[in-house]
Copies of this chain bind each other. A is one copy, B any other.
Amino acid sequence: MKRRLTLADIADTAGVSVMTVSRVINDKPGVSDEVRQTILALVESMGYRPNQIARSLVTEQTTSVGLIVPDNTNPFFAQIARGVEDAAYALQYSVFLVNTVENPQREFDALDSLWQKDVDGLIWCSARVSHEVLEAQISRFPAVVLLNRELTEPPCNTITINVNDRHGARQAVAHFLAQGRRRIAYLNGPEHSVSAHRRLEGYRDAITEAGVPFDEGLVDCCLPDTDSGYDAALALLDRCPNVDAILAFNDLVAIGAMQACQALGRSVPQNVAVIGFDDIPLATIIKPQLTTLHVDLRHIGESAMRALLDKMEEAACPSAILIEPELVLRDSA
């Protein structure tokens, strides 16, 4: 690895000052066309690229952002990360990826590290952090996009992006009801999850508005994975054998529920209809293909990155974005 070329190297061989080269590199006026061409040719042939570190030190801009997710292995966050990175590439930004793995210490360390590296902005998916910590951390960064958190009074450097969970759950219940189903269960996600609360609200409202009495026995919580969904569905069907529809917190839970039904000899969707949430790739791989509330996660990621840039540039932009899930009918309901 040879020594990096600097502005001075180009300036020397071109016989001009560093400032002239700098102006050319940054496409700024004040350089004659002739000199400009000479320098551009030199930059090309010598393979010069600006040192972003040095540049950052003076401009206070790093052209990099932080993305904090619980686990990039979870297809939900993988899709979001992909969207963020796609948009970042288009905008000439780089993305630091950080997993918190539900570990507060690690999350804290990550924030510190990103701050020390002077990221221009932060895209933060954190369900667990308290409001106080959230606001304190937000104030350290130039701009922040919060995913799946609501803020009563959002700081002016912050944008929240949320899925319309209530409406999504209502759509699912409405679909079940239209099919004539009345014993509609809901396998919810973790209690502390904001999404879980909102989806439960949507479910309850839709049920009661339809005149179907709300039955607590039809609602249960589980971890948002297939195994937990399987176990929870097994217990549910044992407790309430006449269930004819299951709304699941997410697709993984839904798939577990479908497999539980099959294990108990209930066919899906004839005996029990199942609807998931998110529409991860797995939803179309599994048989029967899962009817689910599609959420365009890549698009959310892209929006997050673009909104972040807007905030960084202090452009006029909304402080909250609501994403509408869309019910896609496949085979399970």
A residues with a Cβ closer than 8 A to B are 1, 49-54, 56-57, 62, 64, 67, 71-73, 75, 78-79, 81-82, 85-86, 89, 92, 94-99, 101, 106, 109-110, 112-118, 139-142, 157, 226, 255, 259, 262, 281-282, 285-287
Contacts and interface: CB of A to CB of B under 8 A. Distances in A.
A78 B85 contact: no
A285 B255 contact: yes
Contact of A142 (B1, B73, B78, B82): B1
Nearest to A142: B1
A116 B50 CA distance: 6
Contacts of A64: 96, 117
Interface centre among A49, A54, A89, A141 (most CB of B within 10 A): A89
Given A50-B116, A139-B1, A73 B75 contact: yes
A81 B106 contact: no
16 contacts: A51-B118, A53-B56, A72-B72, A72-B78, A72-B81, A72-B85, A72-B97, A73-B75, A89-B109, A89-B110, A94-B96, A95-B96, A96-B97, A97-B97, A282-B282, A286-B286
Query: Of A73, A115, A255, which is in contact with the most chain B CB atoms at under 10 Å from its CB?
Result: A73
B96 A96 contact: yes
A50 B116 CA distance: 6
Nearest to A90: B106
B53 A117 contact: yes
